[in-house]
Amino acid sequence: MILGLETSCDETAAALVTRDGEVRASVVASQAELHARYGGVVPEVASRRHLELVEPVVREALGQADARLEEVEAVAVTRGPGLIGALLVGVSAAKALAWSRRLPLAPVDHLHGHVAALYLRPEPLDPPFLALLATGGHTLLLDVQDRSGYRVVGRTRDDAAGEAFDKGARLLGLGYPGGAALDRLAREGDPEAYRFPVARVPGLDFSFSGLKTALVYTVRELEPDELERRRADLAASYQRAIVRALVERTRAAAEELGAERVAVVGGVAANSELRASLPDATLAPLALCTDNAAMIASAARYVALVPFPDYLGLDAYATAA
């Protein structure tokens, strides 16, 4: 088995995954309530909470799998990108666990992890395929030819789709985390009530900053009572514009690359309208859309293991290369 750890943002997660992709255990401790009072993730607060939670989630994962640490053959951990303090908690814990058992360690790129969620049983997806990866920090179109990695063919030039959802939710007074709350409110509104812009940028890239600005100005123009009456319509129309941008670019990329299969991964893959708008796509299971350690352990099966004790000098990185 592979023991995976994930601490890149505000989820402390541990999982046990077998070499053939069976998830024996997956435990995620969310910090959403802790950060809700601030309206977003506070990096230092997240790091301190990871310190408190990393050992309990590992113990819970072992218990859930009815396994012992002695049965673990390798340790995997998210090395980046993410919040550097949060990442260092996970990397340090993974080093300690691996060193204590003289095990190899697999440093995993967080984005590769999201794609590798598709390789888990019971229905693993085999490359090649085009992947739309949409999270709070990244929006990418990936040409996936094998399980060891991918080639970026499109990316956001400013805000990520998940960030756009969260900022829109904040403008509409929905609190944090905003993406799920906006999705729920949008189901009560008319997506055609407002015509928000969908940016047209060269190539297969995305841009969401103009859309966010359009929502800012629309909200400012409404009186408080009218804003309250129109919140559901605003949410539905804003969500429609984000989803249109994602779907149109994904379909354009699939046509350009001649991709016969499309997959959607990342936290935004949990959005109900996006899932409905790409009915032929392979969607990551809901439990594996947001940050989790099962996807990290899955990716570890396709990266080079660092032998004991060479990983003791391993560092984390905040941004992707």
Q: Check residue 174 and give its pLDDT.
A: 94
Rounded average pLDDT over 222-231: 96
Q: What mean pLDDT is reported for the chain?
A: 97
The domain segmentation of the chain, as residue ranges, is 2-118+290-313, 127-260
- 50-100 tens-digit pLDDT: 999 999 999 999 999 999 999 999 999 999 999 999 999 999 999 999 999
Q: Is the pLDDT at 321 greater than 80, yes or no?
A: no
At residue 78, what are phi and psi to the nearest 5 degrees? -70, 120
Q: Is the pLDDT of residue 176 over 90?
A: no
Residue 222 CB-half CA count within 13 A:
19
Instruction: Give the residue-averaged pLDDT of 98-109.
Output: 98
The whole-number average pLDDT for the span 226-245 is: 98
Kindly report the CATH class assigned to 127-260. alpha beta
d(CA 159, CA 63): 40
CATH superfamily of 2-118+290-313: ATPase, nucleotide binding domain (3.30.420.40)
- CA 197 from chain centre, in angstroms, equals 25
| Rounded-to-integer distance, Cα 74 and Cα 307, Å | 10
| N-term to C-term CA, the chain | 30
Asked, colleague to colleague, whether 2-118+290-313 and 127-260 share their fold, the answer is yes
C-alpha to C-alpha distance for 298 and 66, rounded to whole angstroms: 19
Task: Indicate the pTM of the whole model.
Answer: 0.96
Dihedral, 38, 42, 46, 49 alpha carbons, nearest 10: -50
Could you give the angle at which helices 178-186 and 224-257 cross, rounded to 10 degrees? Answer: 100
